[in-house]
Structure 1
Amino acid sequence: MREERARYETVADEITEAYLRGDHTEGVALARAAMPDLPAWRADLAHLAACLLALGGRPEEAYEELRAAFAAGAWWHRRILLEDDDLADLAGIEGFADFVRESQARADAAADTTRPPLLRRPEGEPHGLLVTLHGAGEEAEDAATEWAAALDAGCVLLAVDSSQRNTPTYRSWPDPEVAARDIATAVAGLDAADRDLPLVTGGFSAGARPAMRWALAGSPGTPVGFVAVAPAVFPTDLDPALVRAGADRGVPGVILLGEKDDDVGEGAQATYESLRQAGLACRLDVVPGLGHTYPDDFDVRLRIALSSLARN
C-alpha cells in the first residue's frame, strides 16, 4: 500500500505542476492515465481531474468525471465538493446537490468503520509511551514506521488512524472533537500498565495539531510533553485556555521544522512564538535545507527529544 501511495504521490505532484503551469489539459490527461493502475486512488485522481476541467471552463465534464468515479465506488466528503474553490462552478449544475448528499452518505458509512491503532513494544521493560498521529493523506502504518526510534528509546509506540476521511484513501484531522474521540478510544484500548507510563504525544503535519492540543489539554492520560514535526498549525488553532493550562502544568514541547518548509513554516513559527509568550517550555529546532518532511536524522532527534521530555 505504501508503494502504491508513493506512485500516486508522484503522479499527483506531476498533476500539480501542470495545474500551477495552467496546463489543465495535460493535468487531466495525467490523472486519467493513472486511474487504471491506481484504482484505490480513483476518488483522488478524479477530484484532481475535475478541478482542472472546471478551471478550464468545462464544469459539466468535471461533474461527469466525478459521477463516473462515484459509479466505480469512489466518494468524497462534502467539504471536498463544496469548499474547494476550483469546483465552485459545479454548484449550479442540476443534480449536483443530490450528488453531494449521495457522496456524503458513503463518507458517513466509511466513518463508522474505524481501524484499531498499531501497537509496537520495545525489547525489555518499557519506561514510556509515545502516541503518534499521522499526517494528512497518511495512515497509522506510516507513523509507526517514521517514529519507530521510540522503541529504541524504551517506549511503547501507539500509532493512531484518524477516522476522518475526505476520500477513501485520504485521512486527516480537520475536526478537533472527532480527533479527540479517536485518540481517547485508542488510549482506552491500552492495558493499565501502558496507560500508566509517562506519555508523550507526537504527530506530523496535520497530525501534530491534535497532538499539541492533547498535550496542552492534559487528557486522556497525563501527557508529559509533545513532539511536533512540521506542524500544520496556527496560533488560532490552539485555544488560549488550553495554552494557559499547559503552561500552568509546565508541559514542554519540541517542534521540528524544516528551514524550507513553505507548506507550514509560517504558521508553525508563529505558533512557537505564541506558546513561548504564554510561558510554555517549548523548543524549536529548525533543520537547515529541509522542506515539509521528516529530517534524515529523525531517529536521533526523536530519541533526544524523548529523553529531554522524560527528564522534565
Structure 2
Amino acid sequence: MNARFLETQKNLFQLFAEKKYQEALHLVQQAEDDFPSRIEKTYFWKACVYARLREFNKAVDCLNAGLEEGIWWNPHTLKNDPDFKEILNMEEFQRILDLCIERVEENNKSTIPKLQSYGNLNAEVGIFSIHWRGSSVEDYASYWLDEEMLKEYYFAFPQSSQVHSYNAYCWDNSEVATHELSQWMKDLKKKNPKRTWIVAGASQGGKIAIERSLLGLDYGSDFIAAIPAISEVDSFRQIIRSHNVSGLKGVIITGDQDYFFDKTKELSELLNESGVSCRLIVRKGLGHFFPEDFTRLVKESVVFIKK
C-alpha cells in the first residue's frame, strides 16, 4: 500500500467522520482511477457512501459489481458495518452475504501461510510483526517501513493462512495462529541465533504479540504493540499468575480515542505492577489507527527495550 493510497484512505475516513458524504463520493471516484488494483477497497467505500446518502440500490449495485469482478468481503464485516444497517434486510443484500460466506469457505481450503522479510540482513535487532485483522502483508508492512527502518532493522511479517476477505487475513483460530507463528519464529531463530527479536503487532496482532511475549513463546522476546485490541484484561491476569514475566519489556502505542483505550491502559498498569517494564505512548485524538509518526515511535520503542 503506497503513501498516496494511505493518504487517500485517511482523508476518506476524515470525511466520513465529518459526515461530508458527497465529498467522500468524489474522493472515492478519484481513487477508482488512481488505484485500479485496489477495487476491493474502492467498491466497498463507494457502497458505504451511497448507503449513507440513502441511495440504497446504488450501494447494493456497487457490492454486486465487485462480486462480478471476483472481489468479496467478510460477511461479518458487511453485516455489522453501521453504514449498511438500512439495507441489511434487503433481499439482494442477503444474497450478497450468502455469496461472501461461500467465498470465505472456498478460499479457506486453499490458502497457505507465508512469511515476508525486509530490511538489513545483518541487523542486530529483528522485528517480528503480526498483522492486524483483515489485512495482508503487503498492506500492513507499509506502516512499519521507511528508508531508515530498512537500514536499521530486519523485519519479518507473517501472513496467516486464515482468510478474512479478499486478499485479507486474520488470526481468529488461536490454535492455528499459535502453530504458524511459533514455527516461523523457531525458523528465524535457527537461521540467526545471535539476532535479538522483538515480537510486535497491531490491533489483533498487537494483542497476540503481548500474549506471546508474556507466555514466553518467542524465547523471551519483548514486545511492541500498536493499538492492541484489548477487550478484556482477565486473560492476561491468568497468564501472569502462571508465568514468570518479570524482566520483560514492552511498549504499547495507542490513542485516547481508540475504542480499546480504557482496557489497554488497564493492561499497561497491570503489566507494570507485575514486573513488566511497559511504556504506554498515547496520542491525543487518535482512534484505532496508526499515528502519523509511527515509525519514529517504533525506533524509540526499540531504544527503550534495548536499554
TM-score (normalised: structure 1): 0.76
Instruction: Tell me, yes or no, if the aligned pair for 1:151 and 1:157 is still in contact at 8 Å.
Output: no
Alignment of 1:133-212 (within 5 A): 133-135=130-132, 137=135, 139=137, 141-142=141-142, 145=145, 152=152, 157-164=155-162, 166-173=164-171, 176-190=174-188, 192-194=190-192, 199-212=197-210
* DSSP 3-state at the match of 2:250: strand
Q: 1:71 deviation in Å?
A: 0.8
Q: 1:172 deviation in Å?
A: 4.9
Alignment of 1:34-73 (within 5 A): 34-73=31-70
Query: Which of the residues 88, 92, 113 maps onto 2:89?
Result: 92
Instruction: Tell me, yes or no, if the aligned pair for 1:129 and 1:197 is still in contact at 8 Å.
Output: yes
- 2:80 counterpart of 1:106: no
Query: CA RMSD for the aligned pairs?
Result: 3.6
- 2:257 counterpart of 1:262: yes
* DSSP 3-state at the match of 1:117: strand
Q: 1:261 deviation in Å?
A: 5.0
Instruction: Tell me, yes or no, if the aligned pair for 2:256 and 2:283 is still in contact at 8 Å.
Output: no
* DSSP 3-state at the match of 2:78: helix
- 2:21 counterpart of 1:24: yes
Q: 1:289 deviation in Å?
A: 7.0
- 2:293 counterpart of 1:297: no
* DSSP 3-state at the match of 2:142: helix
Matched residue, 2:78: 81
Instruction: Tell me, yes or no, if the aligned pair for 1:287 and 1:295 is still in contact at 8 Å.
Output: no
Tell me how far apart the structure 1 counterparts of residues 210 and 146 of structure 2 sit (CA, whole Å). 18
Structure 1 residues 89 and 276, CA, compared in 2 at 3 Å: closer, same or farther? same
Q: 1:134 deviation in Å?
A: 3.4
- 1:261-293 CA-partner distances (Å, limit 9, x unpaired): 53354443222013334x141321437779542
* DSSP 3-state at the match of 1:159: strand
The letter of the residue matching 1:9 is L
Structure 1 residues 119 and 10, CA, compared in 2 at 3 Å: closer, same or farther? closer
Instruction: Tell me, yes or no, if the aligned pair for 1:225 and 1:253 is still in contact at 8 Å.
Output: yes
Instruction: Tell me, yes or no, if the aligned pair for 1:208 and 1:229 is still in contact at 8 Å.
Output: yes
Structure 1 residues 289 and 62, CA, compared in 2 at 3 Å: closer, same or farther? closer
Tell me how far apart the structure 2 counterparts of residues 47 and 195 of structure 1 sit (CA, whole Å). 44
The letter of the residue matching 1:307 is K
Deviates more, 1:229-238 or 1:74-83: 229-238
Q: 1:170 deviation in Å?
A: 4.4
Deviates more, 1:57-66 or 1:10-19: 10-19
Structure 1 residues 116 and 170, CA, compared in 2 at 3 Å: closer, same or farther? closer
Q: 1:11 deviation in Å?
A: 2.5
Tell me how far apart the structure 1 counterparts of residues 144 and 79 of structure 2 sit (CA, whole Å). 33
Q: 1:199 deviation in Å?
A: 4.5
How many residues are treated as equivalent by the alignment? 298
Unaligned runs of 5+ in 1: none
Tell me how far apart the structure 2 counterparts of residues 40 and 132 of structure 1 sit (CA, whole Å). 25
Instruction: Tell me, yes or no, if the aligned pair for 2:189 and 2:195 is still in contact at 8 Å.
Output: no
TM-score (normalised: structure 2): 0.77
Percent identity, aligned pairs only?
Answer: 16
Unaligned runs of 5+ in 2: none
Matched residue, 2:279: 284
- 2:222 counterpart of 1:218: no
Tell me how far apart the structure 2 counterparts of residues 40 and 204 of structure 1 sit (CA, whole Å). 24
Tell me how far apart the structure 2 counterparts of residues 43 and 77 of structure 1 sit (CA, whole Å). 11
Tell me how far apart the structure 1 counterparts of residues 303 and 174 of structure 2 sit (CA, whole Å). 29
Instruction: Tell me, yes or no, if the aligned pair for 2:203 and 2:229 is still in contact at 8 Å.
Output: yes
Tell me how far apart the structure 2 counterparts of residues 240 and 304 of structure 1 sit (CA, whole Å). 27
Matched residue, 1:250: 246
The letter of the residue matching 2:253 is L
